[in-house]
Structure 1
Amino acid sequence: MRIFDPQIILFVADTEGAARFYAALGFVEKFRAAGPDSTPFKIEMSLEGFELGLALPGPAAQEHKLTPVAKSHRACLTLWTDDVAAAYATALNAGAKDLEGPHPFLDGRLRVAFVEDPDGHPLQFVERR
């Protein structure tokens, strides 16, 4: 048995809107699946080998018998960067909600900032000092 190509899936209200947000941060779309009305129910994106799925909760519940949680801070996506302030500003310009601006962490060894994506998932940007 071989396990490969891990992916995190975030349940979102609007797959195309979420994909635009993550594209602004550098993610590239790799795959999309749409229903009969052409609305994508899942879009897969990639950044530096990290795979991210953006999925509508309804189809996942109906087809796979899941109980998706589409709100709350159930997980935090961490993105390392060489410029926390620029990543934070890019996210805000792309539609993120401010949680906490750039600040020192771990005795100043790191600089971090937190935002929520348009669906309320927290993102942490981290820079080594």
Structure 2
Amino acid sequence: MEFRTPQINLYVENLEVSKQFYEKLGFKLSFTAEIEGKEVHHELLLDGFNLGIATKDSLKEVHGVTPGKNAGCEIVLWTDDTDLAIQYLVENGATLVSEPHDFLDNKLRSAWVQDPDGNPIQIVCKRKEQ
């Protein structure tokens, strides 16, 4: 037995709003699943990482599973400028959770936002040598 091709699925209230949000981050739509003519799942690709988004209703209706409320994971996106990226994300529907700040002896700069469904996203960059 072999495991392969990992991805994360997020369960969302509004599939179209979430798809548009992640496309603004540079994700490209690679797959859409429809049930009875209704889109219920998208897969979006960014730099080799596959992110699935699916409606909470479809998870329950199709699979009999109720999505949990666990906030014990996050999506991490590396960038060249955390402050600029956070400004862009907030202007495009993200909710600011943590202002940009330096850590690890000022080697990294990081901040957190939430997507439209409250899923945490960490934005981080390596600090330029000063």
TM-score w.r.t. length of structure 1: 0.90
1:27 matched residue in structure 2: 27
Task: Give the CA deviation at 1:105.
Answer: 1.3
Equivalence for 2:91: 93
> Where do residues 1-129 of structure 1 align in structure 2 (5 Å cutoff)?
1-36=1-36, 38-69=37-68, 71=69, 73-129=71-127
Query: Quick one: percent identity of the two aligned structures?
Result: 39
Code of the residue aligned with 1:115 in structure 2: it is: V
- 1:72 shift after superposition: 5.6
Gaps of 5+ in 2: none
Cα RMSD after superposing both structures: 1.4
Distance 2:49 2:123 in 1: 15
Give CA-to-partner distance per residue, 1:23-64, whole Å, 9 cap, x none: 00100000111232x431101001000000001112112222
Q: Contact between 1:16 and 1:40, CA under 8 Å: does it hold in 2?
A: no
Alpha-carbon distance in 2 for matches of 1:57, 1:74? 18
In structure 1, C-alpha distance between the alignment counterparts of 2:108 and 2:48, rounded to whole Å? 23
Instruction: Report SS of the residue matched to 1:91.
Output: helix
SS of 2:112's equivalent? strand
Question: How many angstroms apart in 1 are the aligned matches of 2:111 and 2:41?
Answer: 28
SS of residue paired to 1:32: strand
Cα distance in 2 for partners of 1:6, 1:72 equals 19
Letter of the aligned partner of 1:56 in structure 2? Answer: T
Match of 1:107, SS state, is: coil
**After TM superposition, which residue ranges in structure 1, 4 or more long, deviate above 3 angstroms?**
none
User: Structure 1: which 5+ runs fail to align?
Assistant: none
- Tell me how far 1:67 sits from its aligned partner: 2.3
